[in-house]
């Protein structure tokens, strides 16, 4: 059994996949790398098979169709104790990879239960200034902890998928639920976090983005609206036992809410915006009120021109902070 499974989804990825795959080979004895070809029309699959032939004890290649989930396919074939997704345009920092493997080894050696390993990430886009996102102000460092030990959850605290390495058994546990709800990429970590009780944080830049991490501009308002409603209805936030865990999920939903509202404003779909508000308020009035309470400008209302302006300014702040 391998220590860590890395899932690398690839679609027509000839120009980027080599750097991603190569960044996983430093500790290959401990790693299982699953390259998932998402119905590529170029030579991506052939190149992936060449890697598999060269590293048969480390690399597996899977081919899926247009409507299949790369994460689900990789989880089905995973043999690693822990699981992480690496997008094909991104890569791992090599010294950090060594630290991650050594930490997981130590956790297993002392037979401690670890549900989630958190690490920093950086945005390293060619010819642009490098940007590091750290959780040092939010999380205890190099110790096992639970939700109650989080230092604070600020408006800038979002656990990006790049920061998360889950125990594989947790992802297998939610697999059917994610599939039933539409296989949104964001849903995997969102649901998995509800099952997390024990965490460990390494203050290292493990994941390196080769492009901007939040690419919501590629979606339309309907996708964002459906995603928000799926996240909003998928769990009972108030059934979560930890107060800080509940606070994090409410905060996360408020960020997605802002993004959805901005899309409606940009497309002049005021009626659709109000309809979504009503659907959310009807489904869970308490949760909707908690989300709305976190929004800037809520006191003047967000259903007018001034409210829309405040939404747009807050979205601009999100974009600059998280390099969206």
Please state which of the ranges 166-175, 215-224, 232-241 shows the lowest mean pLDDT: 215-224
Lookup: tokens for 86: 């690496």
Residue reference for tokens 């992936």: 48
Q: Residue 255 has what pLDDT?
A: 86
Q: Residue 162 has what pLDDT?
A: 95
Structure confidence by residue, pLDDT tens digits, 41-59 = 999 999 999 999 999 999 9
**What is d(CA 72, CA 234) in angstroms, rounded to the nearest whole number?**
18
Average pLDDT over residues 316-324: 62
Structure confidence by residue, pLDDT tens digits, 220-250 = 777 888 889 999 999 999 999 999 999 999 9
Query: pLDDT: is 216 or 110 the higher one?
Result: 110
- The answer to whether the predicted template modeling score (pTM) of the entire model surpasses 0.85 is yes
Structure confidence by residue, pLDDT tens digits, 263-309 = 787 777 778 888 888 899 999 999 999 998 877 555 445 565 656 66
> Taking all residues of the chain, what is their mean pLDDT, rounded to a whole number?
89
pLDDT category of residue 128 using cuts at 50, 70 and 90? confident
**What is d(CA 189, CA 167) in angstroms, rounded to the nearest whole number?**
11
Q: Residue 308 has what pLDDT?
A: 65
**What is d(CA 207, CA 70) in angstroms, rounded to the nearest whole number?**
19
Average pLDDT over residues 103-109: 96
Q: What percent of the chain has pLDDT over 70?
A: 89
Average pLDDT over residues 108-128: 92
Q: Residue 234 has what pLDDT?
A: 95
Please state which of the ranges 91-105, 112-126, 267-281, 304-318 shows the lowest mean pLDDT: 304-318
**What is d(CA 166, CA 170) in angstroms, rounded to the nearest whole number?**
7
Average pLDDT over residues 133-152: 93
Q: Is pLDDT at 74 greater than 90 in this prediction?
A: yes
**Other residues' Cβ atoms within 10 Å of the Cβ of residue 57:** 9
Q: Residue 299 has what pLDDT?
A: 46
């Amino acid at each position: 059994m391998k220590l860590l499974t890395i899932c690398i989804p690839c679609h027509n990825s000839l120009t980027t996949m080599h750097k991603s795959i190569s960044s996983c080979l430093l500790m290959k004895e401990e790693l299982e790398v699953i390259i998932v070809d998402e119905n590529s029309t170029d030579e991506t699959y052939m190149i992936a098979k060449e890697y598999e032939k060269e590293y048969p004890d480390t690399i597996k290649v899977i081919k899926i169709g247009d409507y299949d989930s790369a994460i689900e396919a990789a989880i089905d074939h995973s043999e690693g104790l822990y699981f992480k997704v690496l997008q094909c345009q991104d890569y791992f920092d090599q010294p950090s990879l060594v630290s991650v493997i050594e930490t997981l080894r130590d956790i297993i050696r002392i037979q401690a239960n670890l549900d989630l390993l958190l690490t920093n990430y950086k945005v390293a886009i060619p010819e642009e200034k490098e940007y590091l996102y750290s959780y040092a102000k939010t999380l205890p460092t190099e110790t096992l902890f639970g939700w109650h030990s989080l230092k604070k959850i600020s408006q800038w605290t979002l656990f990006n998928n790049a920061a998360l390495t889950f125990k594989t058994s947790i992802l297998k546990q939610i697999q059917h639920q994610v599939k039933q709800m539409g296989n949104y990429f964001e849903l995997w970590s969102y649901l998995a976090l509800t099952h997390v009780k024990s965490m460990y944080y390494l203050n290292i830049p493990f994941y390196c983005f080769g492009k901007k991490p939040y690419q919501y501009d590629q979606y339309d308002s309907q996708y964002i609206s459906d995603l928000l409603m799926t996240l909003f209805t998928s769990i009972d936030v108030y059934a979560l036992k930890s107060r800080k865990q509940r606070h994090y999920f409410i905060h996360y939903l408020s960020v997605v809410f802002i993004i959805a509202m901005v899309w409606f404003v940009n497309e002049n779909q005021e009626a659709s915006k109000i309809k979504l508000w009503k659907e959310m308020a009807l489904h869970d009035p308490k949760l909707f009120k908690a989300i709305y309470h976190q929004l800037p400008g809520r006191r003047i209302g967000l259903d007018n021109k001034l409210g829309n302006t405040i939404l747009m300014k807050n979205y601009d702040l999100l974009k600059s902070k998280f390099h969206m």
